[in-house]
Structure 1
Amino acid sequence: MFAIFLTPAYAPFAIAFVVMIGIGLIEAIGLGLGHLDLDGDLAMDGESGGVLDWLGLGGELPVLIWLTSLLGCFTLVGIAVQQVATTLLGMPLHWSLAVGGAVVGGGLLNILAANGLARLMPGFETTVISSTDLLRRRGTILEGTAQRGQPARAKVIDHHGQAHFVMVEPHHDTDSIAQGEIALLVRREGALFYALPDTDALLHAI
């Protein structure tokens, strides 16, 4: 039975299944990669994601869980297509035809599955934060030097222990925050955060 999954007609679905298991293991051991940022900004509470909401990626479901679901649906539909083709035609379809059908059918099935998972797993909502929740948190400058008009990339850890990568400029025009230095996020405009260098002893109490 399992030998058929090694044939070319079933190979794409066998590969998808292996990748699905790998992603599931990543989530299971808690590497925290499920909350990848899809649009370059943080998930915003109450905002509609349009197409992403329709696909089940409106922020309530971690992206790797969504991808695992998609791969599972793709695998199931692909195997079903090949089994039906074998029953009706006496042989499976060419893998490219089966993949095309599985992409369409699996994608539609995953919309239902992902939205269902989002409703059944409310615990994931606890790690979806508003970007304003990062204010008064400290971040480390990763690349370059943050200067007024020249933002630098910083890593900020939220209260769930999740890492967020944001662009930072100094709050004061005359300040600069070099790579490796710590900064306290004090305000935000759009996707850009403004920070104070964490060198002032008065800031340590915050």
Structure 2
Amino acid sequence: MAVATRQDIAMVDQIFAPENAIFSAALLLMLLVGAMQVTGLVGDLDAADLDADGDVGLADAVLAWAGIGRVPLLMWLVIFLALFGGLGLGLQQLTTALTGSPGDNFLMVPITAVAALPPTGVAARLVGRIFPSLETTAIDRDELVGLYAEISIGTARAGNPARARVVDAHGQAHQIMVEPDTDDQKFETGETVLLVKREGEIFKAYSRGDFYLPRLD
């Protein structure tokens, strides 16, 4: 059995020291989100699910600079958390070496968060180029009207929407809430429906009609 050395113990103590707690937590959260994506416990939240109404302005420029929209939002979050946590631990270690004591988190956390954005943007663009299918394209959610969606969780009834998955013209998947446009319909999990209109965050739909037909498998 391997015995932990003093150096190993000192490293663990440093990682979980109060001044490093936020950065260590970011790394742990990164691992958790990454594991949840791999196991499929969470769906892909992508930047395209944010409404793209209005003209491109300062906020859009900042989001593009940070790499948001290049990859699904959860993947971007994993990249950011990894860089934020790693940079934070490194900066605290450098500050301790130069001054003899770690920096105050009220100063170090915002500095590290800002410092992590440029490399996050670069990393997101690289990942988007290596895996083009991961790149997202911001669209107006009204553009989803007229497309087919598949009910992914639950049974949708009038006034009781269910979650559905729809793929836009760019091949990007969106998770939306859908309910029948008429009171006499209901949609079951796995059923394909046609999105006919949008009311706020809810999409109204008609059944494609073939879900209950007998299948010759």
For Structure 1 versus Structure 2, the TM-score category normalised by the shorter chain is 0.5 to 0.7
| Counterpart for residue 46 of structure 1 | none
Whole-angstrom distance in 1 between the partners of 2:187 and 2:179: 12
More displaced stretch, 103-112 vs 10-19? 103-112
Letter in 2 for 1:26: M
Gaps of 5+ in 1: 44-48
More displaced stretch, 1-10 vs 190-199? 190-199
Alpha carbons of structure 1 residues 64 and 182: separation in structure 2 relative to 1, 3 Å: closer
TM-score, normalised via structure 1 length? 0.68
What is the SS of the residue equivalent to 1:35?
coil
Alpha carbons of structure 1 residues 204 and 158: separation in structure 2 relative to 1, 3 Å: farther
Indicate yes or no: 2:164 matched with 1:156: yes
Aligned residues: 190
Whole-angstrom distance in 2 between the partners of 1:25 and 1:182: 26
Q: Where do 1:25-36 residues align within 5 Å?
A: 25-29=35-39, 31=40, 33-36=42-45
Whole-angstrom distance in 2 between the partners of 1:6 and 1:87: 18
Indicate yes or no: 2:107 matched with 1:101: no
Alpha carbons of structure 1 residues 73 and 182: separation in structure 2 relative to 1, 3 Å: closer
Letter in 2 for 1:17: L
Whole-angstrom distance in 2 between the partners of 1:108 and 1:140: 36
| Counterpart for residue 139 of structure 1 | 151
Letter in 2 for 1:78: G
Gaps of 5+ in 2: 1-10, 53-58
**Offset of 1:125 from its aligned partner?**
4.8
TM-score, normalised via structure 2 length? 0.65
Alpha carbons of structure 1 residues 41 and 65: separation in structure 2 relative to 1, 3 Å: closer
The answer to whether the 8 A contact 2:71-2:124 is kept is yes
What is the SS of the residue equivalent to 2:19?
coil
What is the SS of the residue equivalent to 2:118?
helix
Alpha carbons of structure 1 residues 71 and 103: separation in structure 2 relative to 1, 3 Å: same
What is the SS of the residue equivalent to 1:12?
helix
Whole-angstrom distance in 2 between the partners of 1:203 and 1:164: 28
Whole-angstrom distance in 2 between the partners of 1:62 and 1:32: 15
Indicate yes or no: 2:198 matched with 1:186: no
Q: 2:177 aligns with which of 166, 189, 192?
A: 166
Indicate yes or no: 2:118 matched with 1:116: no
Deviation string 1:60-91 (CA, Å, 9 cap, x unpaired) is 41222111101011112212221221122111
Letter in 2 for 1:3: D
| Counterpart for residue 196 of structure 1 | 207
Deviation string 1:44-67 (CA, Å, 9 cap, x unpaired) is xxxxx9354443232x41222111
